[in-house]
Amino acid sequence: MHLDERACLNEQALYFLHSDAMINPMIIFKTLDKKPILFSLIAAMFLTEVAMGRADTEHNMVKEIPAYDIWPAKGASYSQHTPYDDNYQHFIIVDRKGRKKDQPEKWQIKPILAQNIAPISVILQNEKASAAINGGYFNLNDGVSASYVIIDGKEMANPRTNKALVKNSKLKPYLEKIFNRSEIRVLQDDNGNTCYDIARHNDPIAKNYKLIHSLQAGPQLLPKLTLQEEAFIRRNSDNDVVDAINAFKKTARTAFGITKEGNLVLFVASGKGQNPESAGLTLDELCSAMQSQGCVKAINLDGDASTTMFVRPMPAENSANIPQGVVICGKHPEARVKSVLGLYYQ
């Protein structure tokens, strides 16, 4: 990932963390053996194939993992899709169609801001999140957020206070565009009904709604890809084009989307090993992937080495204990991130 999107230290520098394995299922089952938590047999077989390097041939390729429920209740499910070799796409779908007006929603998303950059599994140790994906941009050197984050109506991170960002002379002409990048918004009306939106940071809040949470990243993917408008594609002082997030390269991606029916989609995609040489998606392909899930609005989140999805599967037996989580997609060892988009059951 270009450093200028996580501190703007050097527009020509690329930062990658290398790993030989996307996920080790033996570690997963070892961490889960204290409770009778069972994955579907198909999912377990697939993860084993990936870890042992046997899933990259057409003969052994598992194209689909059927959806299964996420702890602790129905309404949110995980599924995996492999449209072609070395491209693993993971979806969490939150079904909001059955929600009742004027009653609190059971499933909700909420950003989390870590005090210091850390793996998602560590950030969630004291959280009851059922699932999570990585969130906004941040400085690689000191972990300061380069994205706005609002939690429970309180501003927790402001990129205008990011010294590495605002003092970068190469970015000075683009700072206002950077500060106005797209964000996920969780809104609430006067009756307590929750609404989700994706908008530019300076866009006004919808009438009769108040902003509860927001998490900035970008660019917007749907209904229109806004790379230049949000200064992810720009020209430097030598008039060379800078592609700050490898928009046209296949690489690991994280995204969030909203369907026409109001359902929520949390998405990650990566190639095996999640390293610079492995396949992933271009941003155009990411737009198509989100459209395939019915999204009419979607936003790109931090990607490349940061891309991570964490899920707590539904236990096979009822238990009052919170089940151990699984890093479904991500580097091994896990990449450290600053902000997380968590999925909660109220």
Give the DSSP H/E element, type plus range, for residue 32: helix 25-32
Sequential DSSP letters for 2-26: BGGGTT-S-TT-B-----S-S--HH
Residue type, 189: D
Sequential DSSP letters for 95-162: --TTPPTTS--SEEEEEEEEEEEE-HHHHGGG---SEEEE-S-B-TTT--BSS-EEETTEEEE-GGG-
Determine the average pLDDT of the residues in 87-112: 87
Residues 191-216: pLDDT tens digits? Answer: 999 999 999 999 999 899 999 999 99
How do strand 76-84 and strand 64-69 relate by DSSP bridges? antiparallel
Residues 214-270: pLDDT tens digits? Answer: 999 999 999 999 999 999 999 987 889 999 999 999 999 999 999 999 999 999 999
Mean pLDDT of the chain: 82
Residues 45-66: pLDDT tens digits? Answer: 334 343 333 333 333 344 667 7
Determine the average pLDDT of the residues in 60-73: 74
Picking from 103, 83, 104, 105, the residue whose alpha carbon sits closest to that of residue 94 is 105
Picking from 31, 61, 116, 104, the residue whose alpha carbon sits closest to that of residue 323 is 31
pLDDT at 2 over 70: no
Picking from 327, 332, 335, the residue whose alpha carbon sits closest to that of residue 132 is 327
Confidence label for 318 from pLDDT (cuts 50, 70 and 90): confident
How do strand 76-84 and strand 87-94 relate by DSSP bridges? antiparallel
- Residue 187 pairs in a beta bridge with 195, 211
At residue 277, the pLDDT reads 58
Distance CA 175, CA 180 (A): 8
Q: Which two tokens stand for residue 164?
A: 């590495």
Contact (Cβ atoms closer than 8 angstroms) between residue 292 and residue 40: no
Distance CA 40, CA 189 (A): 39
Decide which of 39 and 312 is more confident: 312
pLDDT at 16 over 70: no
* SS3 of the chain: helix, strand, coil, percent, to 5: 15, 35, 50
Among the ranges given (51-65, 174-188, 324-338), the one the predictor scored with the smallest mean pLDDT: 51-65
Cα within 13 Å of Cα(71), Cβ side: 25
